[in-house]
Amino acid sequence: MTTESKIRVLIVDDEPLGRNMLRQMLELRSDVRIVGECLNGEEAAEMAIGAMPDMVFLDVQMPKVNGFEFLEKIAGEDQQPAVIFVTAFDEYAIRAFDVNAADYLLKPYSQERFDQAFERAVQQIENRGANEINAQLRKFLAERKSPEQFVERFVIKSGGRVFFLKEDEVFWIEAEGNYVLLHTKDTNHIFREAISKLEQKLNPHKFQRIGRSTIVNIDYVSELQPWFRGNYRVILKDGTELKLSPHYRPTVNKYFGGSL
């Protein structure tokens, strides 16, 4: 295969081990030319303009400019590369799929999983023109900048697989240290995020904080029941009883029109 016909690949990862692993796996292929390696999105954006990669292996959490900010910087270019996200965090999977990434590699990954992701990216390059990829990138980035964007799905990692949980399936959320438990109708799911950080991503018209370690889905609240000493309990439609903390009572009271 000539140099001109090889797939031009850019590696963007701030971790040396991450870059080395990608390089080693790519060098096993005869159809690849590595056009550059970058430590952050800022370097990558500058290199991408001149190198014009067909494919980018992109980390998310990096100093200066992260993976999504890198995409913002190159969104105006005529030719958009196929993107394979490579990260140790599953929480960005939804964003990756929204931007129509070819695949999402969760560290650590096998050679087989890498090859699968690579072939998906090749298919994307072959089956869709740069204009279509660019249009989808623009749409995603415009939506991402909107201040009214809230979590609509949770990415759950369990038993070696990743699946999605719609926000309207969650009855209530309980803090467990740096994690939370998402309580649904039939089971509970562990989600890797502190409750205070997650609260900022939830639609306040749907989810309300009622305690230091508790957030409820308003759609599942059936009753606010007076308790002793002027306190209240929040009764959910499945019968779950939760305590309304005095600290959060004014906010909840305002939401329910001053009925407390």
**Architecture label for domain 7-144:** 3-Layer(aba) Sandwich (3.40)
Q: What's the CATH fold of domain 155-255?
A: OB fold (Dihydrolipoamide Acetyltransferase, E2P) (2.40.50)
Question: Domain residues of the chain, as ranges?
Answer: 7-144, 155-255
Please tell me the pTM assigned to this model.
0.52
The closest of 174, 178, 201 to 188, measured between CA atoms, is: 174
Return the pLDDT at 171. Answer: 97
Q: In 10 A of CB 63, how many CB atoms? A: 10
The closest of 203, 205, 204, 213 to 183, measured between CA atoms, is: 213
How many other C-beta atoms are found inside a 10 Å radius of the C-beta of residue 168?
12
Contact between 172 and 195 under an 8 Å Cβ cutoff? The reply is: no
What is residue 208's predicted lDDT score, i.e. its pLDDT?
93
Task: Quote the pLDDT of residue 124.
Answer: 85
* H helix or E strand, kind and range, residue 200: helix 195-201
Q: Chunked in runs of 10, what are the mean pLDDT values of the chain (260 residues)?
A: 77 95 95 95 90 93 88 78 88 73 90 94 76 59 59 82 89 92 93 89 90 94 84 92 89 71
